[in-house]
Structure 1
Amino acid sequence: MNNAEHEMSVLGAMMLHNKSIPDVMDILEPGDFYRPANGNIFRAIVDLYARNEPADYATVFEALKRDGETLRAVGNDYLPKCGDAAHSYRNGPEYARIVAREAVRRRIASAGLKVADLAEQPGDEDELVEQARKAVDGVSRAAGEKVVSFSESIYETLRSMEADKAPFIPTPWSSVNHAIAGVRGGAMYVVGARPAVGKTVIGLQLAQCIARHGAVAFYSMEMTKDDLNKRLLASELHIPYQRLRDDALLARDTNKIIASEPDFHRMPLYVNDNPSLSITDIKRHARSVNRKSPLKAIVIDYIGLMSTPFGYRGERHQFIADMSRQLKVLSKEMDVPVIVLAQLNRGSEQRADKEPVMSDLRDSGAIEQDADVVLLLHRDLMNQPGDLYVRVAKNRSGVTGSFKLKFYGHYSKAVEEHVSPVEDREYPAFRQAQERPALSSVVGF
């Protein structure tokens, strides 16, 4: 797992045949070398190549003279020895793959030791398992941290700007997209509202929309998976939710479900309805979803219901602050948007205009600090329940402002003012079974 000759062969081939350097760079990083001095030599070769300068014994030696520690570790005649170790200078990429495999095996051994050590540590077993899983997941990544300057990273940014694939996923509402430019990986989005205003509807609509681009992990600590599935059917197929809830489907409802059955397989939405989810549970489940299908977003409904670890004795607001920070870190670690639904306190109800502000977020001001975007929802449930106001109260990368959507609670859906979902007649208080075909005979359950 630490064959010095293999590492010398890679370095020698790179110096003897500079054209192999880009191929080797795609395989190795400095941290993959067992001997730190070899990693420093590798870095010196790559730096010379990046400046369009030749990387041979003489130029690499001059570069290393500025780092006397490396030369003292290997000696002044080490570079020619590397050349001698490269039996064929054209085999640089093959030597690199050998070194990379040895690096992975060392990281496996290191992860094994860490997992064994975790088994002896006190604490919550689920959290220990999550730490062990993270150690194993890190095996395939380079051990050393890559230091990248603006001059190196800007080209990747420019390439992504030219790519056909947008760096964000649009929301279902064009007015909101205009303000926040959709949802992006590595960012945390907070949707806050008072009870019964519609935050779950908005969260579920966002999940539906993003699921058309990839997998979404949805954590529901308030509603069951069955209830959410019925709301999804109501929103997607414009079947009144009450008919789904009461098992009072009409023939046309059943026909809609049967016709849309092939689309079920194109909805990679993974719902976890455990009512006592902890941050450890969410991390573990999200990584499991990502292993099954590339994860595109995480939705939490809602942060105030997250479970505290066993034995936790701190203040509630401190716990929520910690959860908020960990969810923000998770969004960056997995490079996906994390959409957090949150409850608002009664502050807005005591103001004349009833419009919520960020300070109304319940339990902790840390939520508004960690969030990249904060959307606050408001409805006048007494006078205008069909108007849903969405206020962009915080936006790190764009404008703020308020927008009005039309809220159709019976379809579990909010749409732009100029868009109307397919309306449906009120269904009768009774139904006849023979009016509709049997779902089980067609859908296959």
Structure 2
Amino acid sequence: MAEVLTLASNLQEKDIGVPANIQAEAALLGALLIDNRLAEDVQVKLRAEHFFDPTHGLIYQTIMRQIDRNQHVTPVILQPLLEKDPGLQAKGGIKYVVELAQHHAALLGVRDFAAQIYDLALLRELISVGREMVDNAMDTQGIIDPLSQIEEAEASLYRVAESGVTEGGVKSFAQAANIAVKAAEMALYSGANLSGITTGLDTVNAKIGGLHRSDLLILAGRPGMGKTAFATNVAFNAAQRYMYDIRNGLKPEESAGAPVAFFSLEMSADQLATRLLAEQSQLSSEDLRMGKIRKEEFRNLARAATELEELPLYIDDTPGLTIASLRTRARRLKRRHNIGLLVVDYLQLLHGSGKANDNRVNEISEISRGLKTLAKELDIPVLALSQLSRAVEQREDKRPQLSDLRESGSIEQDADIVLFVYREEYYLQSREPKRAAEKSDSPIDARVDEEHRIWQQSMEQVYNMAELIVAKQRHGATGKVRLRFESRITRFSDPVDDNYMPSEERV
């Protein structure tokens, strides 16, 4: 979202060597007074705060205000509005405004003048940030917290870097409709019902249309369901698709993939990399970790590692991150690597600002709001994993519900899409009935064997199968998507049945 720069008070006119061009400011104002229509070329980006001379900023602000009211602006119109300003009086009063309107040559370069005024304002803001950094670092009277100062400095620099971005803020319906049509066009020509970043799973893409910009997606499940595996699969698929598309000559904005930032608060970066490499090599990550592989399998692993050296997947395994620290690091990755997807594993391991009065529910609410704000700020999808409460285990039907989201209803409220991973195989496996010790004709043993046979048939139906439950979706229908899950290599894939269509359940 565009953000107006506010020049710090420690930048004064008397400063020597401060970047500024008073002549360009005067020329721009003169051009606007001669031809009010030129305001359309400059007012989207340029603000009164960008002018170094405060009087010029006041004149510019007054001109724009009158133009917004559909009034024709001339020096005569401005006279009663500006005559009491002491800064203008020091320059000669309204006579100075009249002189500005006499420089017709400025009409030819109004856009260049506006661009230079804005760029110089950015430089002055950088100076302001730098001075504030020095002042804070030199001040040792209060609490000494250099890491917090670094985070604040990075946030300030990011605001300066992003201040010229104008995609946010107010959009006309024509602009919004154009974006919507482009998304629909992408879905049409992708051939896979895809209007966002691919998950790498056709059935999931068909259900939710991919991962959409500025969306917060919550992926939840009980331990053992495979939510981390699903997140790593999606992250890998998106990054791999982007890498292949760029190699094939597509522009970054045309790719259905994206560079991915993965914040792993539970697993280390090497553990995550081991899991991904094992998956691509069709190896068990457990066997790989324990060295139970053959030389040929190791060569496959090394080959996969070589092929994926350029994979745009960035892993941050810093433990105990605060939501403020995560946002700072995400901004940095966006600036350096233009990430298009952010994954957080998992939400409950983040910390709030400490202002929630030791109330965990309020802290989780702050974190979920922070993640949604980050998704909108960076204009990328954020996929955050979440725990479920133990209430699931108390029910006969173990399929999770929205009410099972742990610790805060704000997670459900802030999320655009809520997904649950559920594997019936996990629960059914733990309920295996006993078998008869020996073959016998007794009715009791026969009943025991029958119960085990029925259980075995049920296991065959759900073996290596999983459900992705779309419990909430702002963009469409809820429902379920069947997936194949190979637990040995922790890999999700589309089911073999090509005739399968995801079920729909309107809300």
TM-score under structure 2 normalisation? 0.70
2:158 counterpart residue number: 137
Name the SS for the 1:362 alignment partner: coil
Matched AA of 1:336: I
1:176 counterpart residue number: 204
Q: How far apart in 1 are the matches of 2:404 and 2:82? A: 57
Structure 2 residue corresponding to 1:407, chosen from 476, 485, 488: 485
2:297 counterpart residue number: 253
Name the SS for the 1:341 alignment partner: strand
2:365 counterpart residue number: 321
Structure 2 residue corresponding to 1:158, chosen from 149, 161, 178: 178
Matched AA of 1:272: D
Greater shift, 154-163 or 346-355, is seen at 154-163
Deviation at 1:106, TM superposition (A): 3.1
2:129 counterpart residue number: 111
Greater shift, 383-392 or 201-210, is seen at 383-392
2:72 counterpart residue number: 59
Give structure 1 stretches of 5+ with no counterpart. 52-57, 421-445
Deviation at 1:150, TM superposition (A): 4.7
Deviation at 1:266, TM superposition (A): 2.9
1:91 counterpart residue number: 109
RMSD: 3.6
Deviation at 1:174, TM superposition (A): 2.4
Q: How far apart in 2 are the matches of 1:353 and 1:208? A: 32
Structure 2 residue corresponding to 1:268, chosen from 293, 301, 312: 312
Are residue 199 (structure 1) and residue 227 (structure 2) matched? yes
Are residue 350 (structure 1) and residue 394 (structure 2) matched? yes
Note the 1:262-411 alignment, pairs <5 A. Answer: 262-307=306-351, 314-380=358-424, 381-383=426-428, 384=462, 386-411=464-489
2:269 counterpart residue number: 225
Name the SS for the 2:484 alignment partner: strand
Deviation at 1:360, TM superposition (A): 0.6
Matched AA of 1:89: L
Deviation at 1:175, TM superposition (A): 2.6
Query: Looking at CA atoms only, which structure, 1 or 2, has the larger radius of gyration?
Result: 2
- 1:31–1:145 Cα contact (<8 Å) kept: no
- 1:389–1:404 Cα contact (<8 Å) kept: yes
Matched AA of 1:184: H
- Assess, with a 3 A threshold, how the Cα gap between structure 1 residues 116 and 86 changes in structure 2: closer, same or farther: farther
2:217 counterpart residue number: 189
Compare relative contact order (CA 8 Å, sep 6+) and give the higher one, 1 or 2. Answer: 1
Deviation at 1:346, TM superposition (A): 1.4
2:238 counterpart residue number: 210
Q: How far apart in 1 are the matches of 2:497 and 2:289? A: 25
- Assess, with a 3 A threshold, how the Cα gap between structure 1 residues 316 and 162 changes in structure 2: closer, same or farther: closer
Q: How far apart in 2 are the matches of 1:16 and 1:397? A: 48
1:330-383 CA distance string (max 9 Å, x none):
111111111110111111222222111011111211111111110011112142
Q: How far apart in 2 are the matches of 1:386 and 1:258? A: 27
- 2:39–2:64 Cα contact (<8 Å) kept: no
2:435 counterpart residue number: none
Deviation at 1:288, TM superposition (A): 2.8
- 2:45–2:166 Cα contact (<8 Å) kept: no
1:82 counterpart residue number: 100
Greater shift, 169-178 or 74-83, is seen at 74-83
Q: How far apart in 2 are the matches of 1:247 and 1:71? A: 83
1:222-249 CA distance string (max 9 Å, x none):
2222221121012223223233222233
Matched AA of 1:316: R
- Assess, with a 3 A threshold, how the Cα gap between structure 1 residues 236 and 43 changes in structure 2: closer, same or farther: farther
- Assess, with a 3 A threshold, how the Cα gap between structure 1 residues 131 and 402 changes in structure 2: closer, same or farther: same
1:54 counterpart residue number: none
- 2:469–2:480 Cα contact (<8 Å) kept: yes
1:195-252 CA distance string (max 9 Å, x none):
0110100111111122233322211122222221121012223223233222233344
- Assess, with a 3 A threshold, how the Cα gap between structure 1 residues 157 and 118 changes in structure 2: closer, same or farther: farther
Note the 1:3-42 alignment, pairs <5 A. Answer: 4-14=22-32, 16=34, 24=42, 28-34=46-52, 35=54, 36-40=57-61
Matched AA of 1:206: V
2:248 counterpart residue number: none
Q: How far apart in 1 are the matches of 2:112 and 2:42? A: 9
- 2:231–2:343 Cα contact (<8 Å) kept: yes
Name the SS for the 1:376 alignment partner: strand
- 2:267–2:317 Cα contact (<8 Å) kept: yes
Matched AA of 1:354: K
Name the SS for the 1:183 alignment partner: coil
- 1:404–1:417 Cα contact (<8 Å) kept: yes
- Assess, with a 3 A threshold, how the Cα gap between structure 1 residues 43 and 21 changes in structure 2: closer, same or farther: closer
Greater shift, 364-373 or 84-93, is seen at 84-93
Greater shift, 277-286 or 190-199, is seen at 277-286
- 1:193–1:378 Cα contact (<8 Å) kept: yes
Q: How far apart in 2 are the matches of 1:147 and 1:261? A: 39
Aligned residues between the structures: 410
TM-score under structure 1 normalisation? 0.79
- 1:29–1:142 Cα contact (<8 Å) kept: no
Give structure 2 stretches of 5+ with no counterpart. 1-18, 188-194, 243-256, 429-461, 499-507
Greater shift, 373-382 or 138-147, is seen at 138-147
1:15-63 CA distance string (max 9 Å, x none):
5578976665686345423433233256369769xx9xxxxxx932399
- Assess, with a 3 A threshold, how the Cα gap between structure 1 residues 144 and 177 changes in structure 2: closer, same or farther: closer
Q: How far apart in 1 are the matches of 2:76 and 2:475? A: 41
Q: How far apart in 2 are the matches of 1:123 and 1:61? A: 54
Deviation at 1:155, TM superposition (A): 2.7
- Assess, with a 3 A threshold, how the Cα gap between structure 1 residues 147 and 263 changes in structure 2: closer, same or farther: closer
Q: How far apart in 2 are the matches of 1:328 and 1:81? A: 50
Deviation at 1:395, TM superposition (A): 0.9
Deviation at 1:301, TM superposition (A): 0.8
- Assess, with a 3 A threshold, how the Cα gap between structure 1 residues 199 and 385 changes in structure 2: closer, same or farther: farther
